[in-house]
Amino acid sequence: MSQKRSASIEAAVIGYGLGGRVFHAPLIASTAGMRVCAIVTRNAERRSQAARDFPDAKLFDDADALFAALEDIELVVVASPNRTHAPYALRALEAGRHVVVDKPFATNPADARRVQAEAARRKLVVSPFQNRRWDGDFLTLRRLIDDGVFGEVRRFESRFERWRPNPRGDWRESGDAAEGGGLLFDLGAHLVDQALLLFGPASTVYAEADLRRDGVHAEDDAFVAITHVSGVRSHLWMNALVSQAGARFRVVGRRATYAKYGLDGQEDALRAGKRPGDPEWGEDPSQWGQLATGDDTMRVIRTERGAYERYYAQVALAIRAGALPPVDVADAAPCLEVIEAAHRSVREGLVVRMGD
């Protein structure tokens, strides 16, 4: 199939639920040199919303129709149900298109590696959408670690807890691991990615998971303990039924401890129709973190601005200038290996040694 290259990077978004409508399409539209030119959704309400949001974009009922009409499209963004992520990514690569894949990148590590290998073979850009690497509090935490503020980090605690007592009734709450349902694939994909990025590969994984709300069939309360090869221990919590959340981050080091409460505000800003470049975009809407040292000194650490816009800006550079993608596709399989080990730990009630 031939492809025409336009001045802007023409992007097609597969799926117009939360991921496609709130994150991908607005961030693409806010990126210089990129344009949303096609959207795939068969849901009538979402189709009407897509037409209002992007009146110049072509609308397709299904991915088959899109893949039959890729001529001017240079980038395919996969924001469809989790089980379709790897198959659609492979189809886009086989058609010679660059690809962004929402989290989780796939539902198992083997599929992630297949996508990685196909991208390498065709010399195309493929990148997992791990936007929370650009949360303001995570950017702040990375800077503190890089500056050596903690000395030797011993424990990393990370929570993503919400109060959502009424299930939405979608596949995320009803699908099994093969469907990519449950919080381990949803919020866990972010928390595990951040832990591995900060402290390196896992040596052991232990997990607990429960179904707390009536009507759900996939875990909505989970805990994952990772012992990293580096010796750091990461404790990760994700929950949909917490009305008083714990610290978003707590880092314990030899010389200092840092605690930060409240979630990054960029998701809420996007939901409210705000965009990168708006006044106060990326500013922390919650309280800043505090750093405590052994001499009882406590100081407030200003949270850096969140910067989701950097993701697609870097995608554009990777496509047009051969720069590195914002998230390396090689990071996808290790994250999924930890999630796979967590599911096994829950089933068998044991600590999983990676590689066993």
Q: How far is CA 120 from CA 93, 260, 314, in A?
A: 10, 39, 18
| Residues in Cβ contact with 222 at an 8 Å cutoff, skipping those fewer than 6 apart | 182, 183, 184, 188, 207, 208, 209, 210, 237, 238, 239, 342
Q: What is the pLDDT of residues 230-259, one digit of tens each?
A: 999 999 999 999 999 999 999 999 999 999
Q: What is the pLDDT of residues 257-290, one digit of tens each?
A: 999 999 999 999 999 999 999 999 999 988 899 9
| Residues in Cβ contact with 106 at an 8 Å cutoff, skipping those fewer than 6 apart | 85, 86, 89, 112, 115, 332, 336
Can you give the pLDDT at residue 135? Answer: 98
Q: pLDDT tier at 217 (50, 70, 90 boundaries)?
A: confident
287: nearest Cα among 259, 257, 253: 259
Q: Which residue has the higher pLDDT, 173 or 130?
A: 130
The torsion angles phi and psi of 29, rounded to 5 degrees, stand at -65, -25
pLDDT at 3 over 60: no
The token pair at 259 is 């605690």
86: nearest Cα among 66, 96, 101: 101
Cα separation, 184 vs 170, in Å, equals 16
Can you give the pLDDT at residue 218? Answer: 83
Write the Ramachandran bin of 186: left for phi over 0, alpha for psi from -120 to 50, otherwise beta.
alpha
Angle, alpha carbons 159-160-164 (nearest 5°): 135
DSSP secondary structure of 70-125: -TT--EEEE-S-GGGHHHHHHHHHHTT-EEEEESSS-SSHHHHHHHHHHHHHHT--
pLDDT at 108 over 50: yes
Cβ pair 245, 261 in contact under 8 A:
yes
Q: What is the pLDDT of residues 286-328, one digit of tens each?
A: 889 999 987 777 899 999 999 999 999 999 999 999 999 999 9
Can you give the pLDDT at residue 119? Answer: 98
- Domain boundaries of the chain, sorted by first residue: 9-131+311-324, 132-307+338-353
Write the Ramachandran bin of 121: left for phi over 0, alpha for psi from -120 to 50, otherwise beta.
alpha
Q: pLDDT tier at 171 (50, 70, 90 boundaries)?
A: low
Q: Which fold, 132-307+338-353? A: Dihydrodipicolinate Reductase; domain 2 (3.30.360)
Can you give the pLDDT at residue 7? Answer: 85
Burial class of 234 by CB neighbour count within 10 A (0 to 12, 13 to 18, 19+): buried
Q: For all residues of the chain together, what is the average pLDDT?
A: 94
Mean pLDDT, residues 177-193: 91
Can you give the pLDDT at residue 172? Answer: 66
Mean pLDDT, residues 331-346: 98
Can you give the pLDDT at residue 1? Answer: 43
- Residue corresponding to tokens 């989290």: 103
Instruction: Give the distance from CA 356 to its chain's centroid.
Output: 27
Helix, strand, coil percentages (3-state) for the chain, rounded to 5, are 35, 25, 40
Architecture of domain 9-131+311-324: 3-Layer(aba) Sandwich (3.40)
Cα separation, 261 vs 137, in Å, equals 9
Cα separation, 340 vs 273, in Å, equals 35
Can you give the pLDDT at residue 179? Answer: 80
Mean pLDDT, residues 164-191: 82
Q: pLDDT tier at 174 (50, 70, 90 boundaries)?
A: low
Cβ pair 169, 189 in contact under 8 A:
no
Write the Ramachandran bin of 277: left for phi over 0, alpha for psi from -120 to 50, otherwise beta.
left
| Residues in Cβ contact with 56 at an 8 Å cutoff, skipping those fewer than 6 apart | 37
